[in-house]
Structure formats: structure tokens, C-alpha cells
Structure 1
């Protein structure tokens, strides 16, 4: 039997819940592929270097180009999504991401490789805001942290596939074949998106005469967001934990283990895989824990402390493959699990009409940091390494994420506690 709240049309009636969850699945599917593209350079780095003759600095630039463009486009993507709607943002983002993947996979030289990486970052900036805005507007506040956790858990599946499974695929396929395949998956999900979203119940049409007034309200709300101290503290928190983690697991984790400890690429990728699995599961668990505690601040503080501890041990301690390295990678993944909680806190800090802009602004913290760390890491390695980098060289480079992660502790401590009455006032802001 169909849900009483159904959408009727020339086809058979479809329940609103089915349309909502179906659209969510397609958006998250593109989001999953985006996480694959984000973390694949770590596993594909050796093949890419040998194929195109890339130095450590050039490899860092190629991988970080995605993050640079993604970072720069976060605020425009937030404004774009708030203006044109979630469906259009998802469609355009998905198509641009697909084109970027094809450029990356077919690239004959570094220039086209950089172009592909840039287009992937551009497309995924719109996809991210579309997914986060969909979660914020289609699910109740009581379910938002849990839905965000589930979203990040599934997205982490893409990063997991980019590690050990991709290392195994390299035995039979080239790095180009793998990237192009995921480009086709992204394109397929994008093409299917209008099938469901076109059947969703239409919102009330905006009076064209009020468009100017609405634009003024959005801009005024965005200025309000930029003045929110809480938003900037959340920006620093996600930068310190997830930004450093994305940079390391997305590029330098596997080279560190292969160069520093002479591990094979498949063995090295297993450590990153475990870390990303913990990150995904942790995103779901930490979101649930924050809802049970009733306050997001303690969870964010614990994540900041954990992140700084891991980077301290990696950069300053003595460790090696085995249980020590495995423990550090597990804790690193767990430290990033609060990302859904940070986005939920962002939603509760601003008016609903500006959730896209605020979420994009906070997310900039993670990806600006990832771009800086990936590029900076490669520059440091080229500077300190006499020939092939060793573990001591990598530990010098690890001081960069360590320094950034320490800022996250101060930012987390300064966060406001959850206050339902103030959130209600914020969300009624005009």
C-alpha cells in the first residue's frame, strides 16, 4: 500500500518517503565516488609517478589541486545551491565531476591531469553542499546527526575502496582504467537523479516579484553567518581533525609506509583502509553518541585531543608497522568521526535558508587544510630528502599536520554548548 502522502502523476503514484530516500541514495552515491577520487591518489601514486614521471612536489600538486578548487568553490557552491536548489546543484556537480574523472583518466600529461583534478574538485564542491543541504532540510533535527553519520559512513566506503581494493585492482587494471570506471559510475548516478527528483512534490512557486527581496534576505543572512563566532570555531575544528587526516590518508600515508618501512603497496594500503573503515563506522557511532549526550562540544573536544595525540606520536615517537602503526591509524580514523557532529552543529547555528552557505564555509576548513598539507608535505620532503625519503624525512613533514591539529584543541574548547532555546531563536532569524 502506498503512503498516504504520495506524489501522483502520469506514472504510478510513488510515496514521498520513497522519493526522498531514493534521491538521498543517488546523491550519496555520487558523494561516495567523490571520496574515491579524493583518496585514490594515495594508492595510485606509484603508478602515476612511473607513467607520467612525477616528482613528490608535482604529485602533491596534482592531488592537492582537487582540494584547492574544492576549497575556493565551497562558498560559491553554498550560495549557488541556496539559489538554484538541491537538484540542480546535484546535477551540475555530478556532470562536472564525471568530466573531470574522464580528463584525469585519459590524461596524456601533467597539464590535463591537473585539469581533471580541478574539475573533480569543482563538481564535488556542488555535490557536497547538495548532500548536506538535502540532509538538513529533508530530515528532522532529531534525526539529523544520525543521518549525517550514515552519510559519512557510506561516503567513507568510497575512501576504503580507494585503498586496499584499488591496490588489488592494479594487478589487473591500469590506474587509468580504474579512474575512468568510477567516472562512468558517477555519470550514471547523475543521469538517474532527475528520474526521482522530477516526481517529487513541487514546492510553492516563488513570486518573481519577490526574487529581489529573497536575494537580499539570503545575502543579509550570509553576512550574519560570516559574523558568527561559532561558525569560525567549527571551521578550525574540522580543519584540525579532518583536514589533516584527509591530506595524509588521501596521498602520503601509503608512500610513508612504502618508503619509510619498505612495505609493499598492498600491505601499506591496508593500514589506510583500516583507518578509513574506522572513520566511516566512527562517523555513525559518534553522531549517535552526540545525540545521546545532548551536547556536541565534549565530542568535538575529544576528537581534537585524539587527533593531536596521534600526530604527536607519528611525528615525534618511535613506531613501526605492526600493532603500533595499526593503533595509530585506528585512532586517526576515529578522530575524524565527529565530522557529522560538526556539520550538525553548523546547521543549528544559522538560519535554515543559509545552511548551504554555512556548511560550505565550515567545510572549507577541512579542504583548505588538506590542500595546504598535501602540497606542503611534498615540498618538505623534496627539501629534506637527499635521495629517496626515509622515515626521518617523513617525520619532519608530519610536524605540519601536528601544528595544525593543536589549533583544533583551542577552537573546540571555545565552542558554545548546545542551547535549544538559542537554536530556536537562530533558526527563526529573518
Structure 2
């Protein structure tokens, strides 16, 4: 698509981005409801962690199927289904009193959440030119974090006021009703380009997934997403509030307010990162490297600080970690740039598996280590450092291979999204296609 997007495309995007806002609200609601859930369902730390592990696990497992479904049926239908699943899951959570029913509710929520973001990104790819993709994606994350913001102090006040059942029941009903708006207002493609995707066999779908995975830039996007967004996710989805309240002795109200730092950091960082990488695509990977280096330093400070960590350290530390979510959007830009449009949904789903797969691993590891160490949060959070180190290593491997593939394309005279110069650390071109 060339030129600038029209008003119709912007309105379609806003309608779809609101679905993402609702999905993020439901996803992060356990961040402040976790302690109340522990009392409601009479469970400990490991069992409480299972709620998030199940939800994020379902989300992760569904990312590649979601990409395939979006490419096949179009984002409008998938977003409509997402809203119905999200609404049903939250209504079920509102009336749940048993641990098993609560787990089922979070699983249904995870399924609805899984169908959302890839669908919105596929709409952006269809309605906006490539040079606007990163900016509009950053606006999408901005809107999503408004849902995260609503799931902090406002949700805490609602849970303390009207209570668990009315709060989650209304949230579920509003979400389900919004499905009618999406079904009638969202169009999969710009005017005049509406077309039903041809039916393809299961073998062809598998071939598309494999083709997306074999693109070095897709693999690089996977590891960028894996490394950058899991740590803020783990803290906002589940373990941030317990860490602050039980591990650092911070009052619950103050801890809830501290989680807003993640929201504000992402709200500010999203458009900033999107604007920079749209204007200067060559800065994408240096920004990833700078973030990962800074995040390693932040975790070193937080986990080795003598005694209780003061707010003057927690606030800037959390603010920097929050930038991981905007920086992780670089992974989607890589998938969009190096895959043909009919395969962008599938490639985006592949990339999205990265960060949420890492979130699942880290959240589960923290819960298990808390049980083994008798609630020692700093020891448990060392698992975050291990996942961060592993993801950074794999990202560096595929960064070099993706650069080599780009050199090969340039040598063939192909048009490439970003022109780069060879550096001393670059690998020989034939290794670019190693799998």
C-alpha cells in the first residue's frame, strides 16, 4: 500500500485497537486482583502463579494458529470471536468460587486475548503503508496500556468497593456487547480491495508457517520479542504486587500505584520508539541492544540492593523496564518488513510467541522458586535474569544471521527495507540461511 491512510482506515484501526484495550485490561486484571484471588480460592503462591501460567500459556500456544486464522478468515471475524471469548471468560471469573472454575475462566480469557493483537497488526499492515506501520503499531500499544492503566488503581478501588463479582461481571458484559460494533464497523482491507481469502489445505497452512519461520528476520523478531517484553509482563501480570507487598514491605496502595509506572513508561515510550524506528529503521537493533544492556543493569541493582529497595530506586528501575514493551514492537516491524502481506499474520503470530513464551517460563519459575525458598522473592526473581541472558544470546545469534541474509539480498540487487554496511562481526553470507 502506498500513500497515506485515509480517515476510514484510521476509524477502523481505532475500533480494532479498542478491542486490544479491553484484552489488555482483562489480561492484567490479575496483577492487582492476585492477592484477593488467593483468599477467594484459598491457594498459595505456586497455585496462584498457575492462573497466569495457564492464561499466558494458552495465549502463547494460540499465536501461530491465530496468525494462520487471521490470514485465512480476516481480522474482523477473529476480533469478533476474541471479544466473545474475553467476555465469557470474565463473566465466568465473576461467578467462580472454586480454584478449578477460576482456572477455566483464565484459560478462556487467554484464548480471547490470543486472538486480538495479531488481528490488529494484520489490519494495520493492510490499511497503512509500510513507513507508517511502526508508528501505528506504537499507537496501538499506547491504547492497550490505557487498559493496563484501568487495571491498576481504578480496578483496585472497584474491587474494594462494589467487589469481585459486580466488577468482573460488568467488564465481561461490556466486552461481549462490543463484539457487535466490531462486526459491523471493521473492514479487513481498504475500500475496493475486499476479497475472501481462498481456502487452503492443512498442508499449505503448515507450509506458510514454516516459510515464515525460515525467514531470518522473523526468527530475529521472535528473539527480540522474547528478550524485551517478558520481564515487564511478569511483573504487571502477576508477581509485581506480591513482590512489592510481601517481599519489600510496600503498602498495597503504594504498590498498586507503583505498577502505574509500567503503564506510564510504556505510554510515553511507545510513540517515542515508534517514531524513531519509522524515521530511522537502521536504529532498530541498536535500540534493542541498548534496552537489554540497561535492563540487565536494573535487575542487578534490584536483586543486590542491601535491605529494602527505596522508592527512589524502584520508580526509575520500573520506568526503564517498562520500555521493554515498546521496544518489543521492533520484532513485529521485522516480521512485517520481510514477509509478504498474505503471510504477515502468520509471521506476526510466530514473533508474538516469543515474549509470551518467555513470560510463561519466567512466571512459572518464580512461583516454583517461591515455594522452594519459603517466599524469598529476590532468589525467585533470579529466574528472570536467566531467561533474559538466554534470550539475549539467541537474539544476537539471529541478528548476525539476519544481517547476512540482508547482505545476500543486496548482492542480488533486490530491494531491501533497510540498507546496512558490513561490520567486522558479521558472519559469512552462506550462514544466513542456516536453520
Scaled by the length of structure 1, the TM-score of the pair is: 0.87
Partner of 1:226: 213
Partner of 1:119: 108
The aligned length equals 403
Gaps of at least 5 residues in structure 1 are 1-15
- Name the SS for the 2:116 alignment partner: helix
Q: State the alpha-carbon separation in 2 of the partners of residues 239 and 198 from structure 1.
A: 31
Partner of 2:93: 104
Partner of 1:77: 66
1:354-394 per-residue CA deviation (whole Å, 9 max, x = no partner) reads 11111111101111111122222111101111xxx3xxx11
Give 2:294's match in structure 1, choosing from 300, 303, 306: 306
Asked whether 1:203 is paired with 2:186, we answer: no
Deviation at 1:289, TM superposition (A): 1.4
Q: State the alpha-carbon separation in 2 of the partners of residues 72 and 216 from structure 1.
A: 19
Q: Are 1:94 and 1:190, in contact at CA under 8 Å, matched by a contact in 2?
A: yes
Deviation at 1:53, TM superposition (A): 0.8
Q: State the alpha-carbon separation in 2 of the partners of residues 384 and 192 from structure 1.
A: 49
User: Which residues of 2 match residues 130-169 of structure 1 at below 5 A?
Assistant: 130-169=119-158
Q: Are 2:72 and 2:199, in contact at CA under 8 Å, matched by a contact in 1?
A: no
Partner of 1:247: 234
Q: Are 2:64 and 2:209, in contact at CA under 8 Å, matched by a contact in 1?
A: no
Q: State the alpha-carbon separation in 1 of the partners of residues 194 and 281 from structure 2.
A: 35
Q: Are 2:46 and 2:368, in contact at CA under 8 Å, matched by a contact in 1?
A: yes
Partner of 2:175: 186
Q: State the alpha-carbon separation in 2 of the partners of residues 143 and 360 from structure 1.
A: 20
Q: State the alpha-carbon separation in 2 of the partners of residues 269 and 321 from structure 1.
A: 16
Q: State the alpha-carbon separation in 2 of the partners of residues 339 and 273 from structure 1.
A: 19
Q: Are 2:12 and 2:187, in contact at CA under 8 Å, matched by a contact in 1?
A: no
Give 1:410's match in structure 2, choosing from 393, 396, 399: 393
- Name the SS for the 1:320 alignment partner: coil
Partner of 1:10: none
Deviation at 1:242, TM superposition (A): 0.6
Deviation at 1:424, TM superposition (A): 4.5
Give 1:377's match in structure 2, choosing from 349, 366, 374: 366
Deviation at 1:29, TM superposition (A): 1.2
Q: Are 1:218 and 1:354, in contact at CA under 8 Å, matched by a contact in 2?
A: no
Q: Are 2:223 and 2:392, in contact at CA under 8 Å, matched by a contact in 1?
A: no
Aligned-residue RMSD, C-alpha = 2.5
Deviation at 1:297, TM superposition (A): 1.2
Asked whether 1:264 is paired with 2:248, we answer: no
Deviation at 1:218, TM superposition (A): 5.3
* Closer, same or farther: CA 286–118 of 1 in aligned 2, 3 Å: same
Deviation at 1:179, TM superposition (A): 2.3
Q: Are 2:77 and 2:183, in contact at CA under 8 Å, matched by a contact in 1?
A: no
Q: Are 1:258 and 1:268, in contact at CA under 8 Å, matched by a contact in 2?
A: yes
* Closer, same or farther: CA 424–275 of 1 in aligned 2, 3 Å: same
Q: State the alpha-carbon separation in 2 of the partners of residues 368 and 302 from structure 1.
A: 22
